[in-house]
Structure 1
């Protein structure tokens, strides 16, 4: 669909649908159908998370970005990998639950490997202690990937590797964010990883309703977390 035929109200309605409670089959049907319009829609929403998260992760490496193997979880159409490539990364594996999204991502020829995975319903199809960096952008929110999956992200990262994750701070996602923050803290208290930085972002994306928007703004805010897996806790399969 041409951008001229699609306005912000249509896109907001579509985004709202992504967070509705429904069966897993219905959720995947939605994402499969959305795959070909997804990038147009998030562009209209001024979705900044992929770029900001990629820059945040890149800042952890003073050099040799091209040698780091990155797992892009809930990779969608490959927007995060595109931004990471702009930052100098070249080696990507991706996983996503939607076959439609994977097909679009695969067409970009960015990923060395792409696999289907219903995170939250099955473990990641990856060995433990394998990736230099793990990143998940946009999927950790209400109605999407549950917060209890975080140990899986830690498992597949190398000891000393980085994990970058994001969530939204809009009103309807605050309960989820509180659960996520608690999960992150519990795992740090167990010594599995350490928090490197938490970056709050005011202009995350345009709000899908007036209720979700910040005061004097039509944007919602978001947050980027960067953690480093403990050298002392390699995982075993």
Structure 2
């Protein structure tokens, strides 16, 4: 999801979704800070019924993320591994992870309002209200078997440098699945000519190995998504 011009809004064919379209444009505007993003999401979760405005036919990022995390794992593995859901929000990804059989999931999000919604549904074992950057989180090295990021990238969202912290907290052999709007690679300055080169550099440095990169439809309405899946070395 990214900035939307008035022209884009005007040509949108589904006016029943115009409000959520504008909400996303607001939280993704250039120059927004991480703190402003967190405050916005707290308000959206509380006042604007975030989940009701993002049903499956509008937004499929959590579905795609959870399926990629589960792919190739046995039922026994999914029941025993530890998952770290970054940019957890209200727990939409956790719902889908649990539907695939994952049982031990921790969630991180800087929005207290979002995490409160997830807590009310008992979707995580641990609720961490924090930003993920290059600053060390209160998490030991090699803690998780799977790390997911469902739509956590965007203007004022997760910075490129957070990849180092993601790799640090995942065990060797563990998986990292990152899903975002494909257009972000061009429209968000933080990621343009920086995110994928850093991903490639981490692979050259032996930090992780790419398992999958794909573009998929329906990330948000008619906007394409992009998925990366890596195995930590």
Taking structure 1 as the reference length, what is the TM-score of the superposition?
Answer: 0.84
Q: CA RMSD in A?
A: 1.9
Alpha-carbon distance between aligned partners in 1 of 2:176 and 2:134, rounded to the nearest angstrom: 21
Residue 124 (structure 1) shift: 2.5
Q: Deviations over 1:131-188 (max 9, x none)?
A: 0111111012233111111011000001111111112112763652542111110100
| 2:41 pairs with one of 27, 31, 40 | 31
Structure 1 segments of 4 or more deviating over 4 A?
none
Residues 60 and 183 of structure 1: CA distance in aligned 2, closer, same or farther (over 3 Å): farther
Deviates more, 1:117-126 or 1:161-170: 117-126
The match for 1:142 among 151, 155, 169 is: 155
Which residue of the other structure, out of 1, 18, 30, is the alignment partner of 1:9? 18
Segments of 5+ residues of structure 2 without an aligned counterpart are: 1-14
1:134 and 1:163 in contact (8 A); partners too: yes
**8 Å Cα contact 1:141/1:177 also seen in 2:** no
Gaps of 5+ in 1: 1-5, 207-218, 231-237
Distance of aligned partners of 1:45 and 1:161 in 2 relative to their CA distance in 1, 3 Å threshold: same
Question: In the alignment, is residue 220 of structure 1 matched against residue 223 of structure 2?
Answer: yes
State the number of aligned residues. 213
TM-score, with normalisation over the residues of structure 2? 0.85
Match for residue 179 of structure 1 among 184, 187, 194: 194
1:200 to 198, 207, 215: 215
Correspondence list, 1:1-237, <5 A: 7-20=16-29, 21-36=31-46, 37-43=49-55, 46-64=58-76, 65-120=78-133, 122-170=135-183, 173=187, 176=191, 178-206=193-221, 219-230=222-233
